[in-house]
């Protein structure tokens, strides 16, 4: 494993243990060249997935990209990072177990929205605003009304 600090190509594993949800192995490593310590995760990958974008372009599925998009939606919310990690693991497992190697981006987006809705309403709306490409405040109001997330009385909407 390459050291993220100095780029040395070898590192020593100092500690290995399963992650909290058992879906990965967490390894603490030490670089013999610079002494830097870092953590890696080893996960099972059932199959190579390809995401078909709305434009028709095909890109390899990237778990880290999924994690980043969810991190953005949950930023400044009181959500445990372990919950987000479990959510990403669950979504990834769902995608891998669908039996398809090519998956539409809308399938990924809907799985994320479904998971976020159960986790945090604000993160759900944040993600939906990007995923559904909201352009103006009316888009938010319409979405909130459809989803039953608004507490405002009908005459205020």
What tens-digit pLDDT sequence spans the chain (157 residues)? 899 999 999 999 999 999 767 778 999 999 999 999 999 988 776 678 999 998 999 999 999 999 999 999 999 999 998 899 899 989 998 998 888 899 999 999 999 999 999 999 899 888 888 877 777 777 777 777 777 665 544 444 3
Tell me if 157 is assigned to some domain: no
User: Does one domain contain both 32 and 70?
Assistant: no
Same-domain pairing of 38 and 53? no
Residues 75, 117 within the same domain? yes
Domain membership of residue 153 (yes or no) is: no
55 and 123, same domain (yes or no): yes
Q: With beta carbons less than 8 A apart as the criterion, state whether 21 and 14 touch.
A: no
Residue 12 sits in the same domain as residue 61: no
Residue 149 phi, psi dihedral angles, 5° rounding:
-95, -15
> How many whole angstroms separate alpha carbon 25 and alpha carbon 20?
9
Residue 156 DSSP one-character state: G
Sheet of strand 24-30: strand arrangement = 12-18, 24-30, 37-43
Q: Are residues 52 and 38 part of one domain? A: no
Residue 23 belongs to domain spanning: 1-44
- Residues 122, 66 within the same domain: yes
Total tally of structural domains belonging to the chain: 2
63 is a domain residue: yes
pTM of the model: 0.65
Same domain, 59 and 103: yes
Residue 156 in domain: no
* Residue 56 and residue 107 share a domain: yes
67 and 29 in one domain? no
Closest CA to 58 of 94, 105, 111: 105
């Amino acid at each position: 494993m390459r050291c993220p600090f100095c780029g040395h190509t070898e590192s020593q594993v100092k500690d290995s243990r399963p992650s909290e949800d058992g879906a990965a192995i967490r390894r603490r490593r030490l670089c013999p060249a610079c002494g830097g310590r870092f953590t890696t995760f080893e996960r099972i990958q059932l199959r190579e997935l390809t995401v078909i974008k709305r434009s028709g372009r095909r890109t390899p599925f990237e778990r880290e990209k999924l994690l980043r998009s969810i991190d953005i939606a949950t930023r400044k919310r009181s959500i445990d990072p372990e919950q987000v990690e479990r959510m990403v693991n669950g979504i990834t497992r769902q995608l891998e177990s669908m039996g398809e190697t090519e998956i539409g981006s809308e399938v990924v987006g809907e799985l994320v929205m479904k998971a976020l809705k159960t986790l945090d309403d604000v993160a759900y709306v944040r993600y939906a605003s990007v995923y559904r490409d909201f352009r103006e405040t009316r888009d938010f109001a319409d979405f909130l009304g459809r989803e039953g997330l608004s507490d405002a009385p009908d005459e205020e909407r």
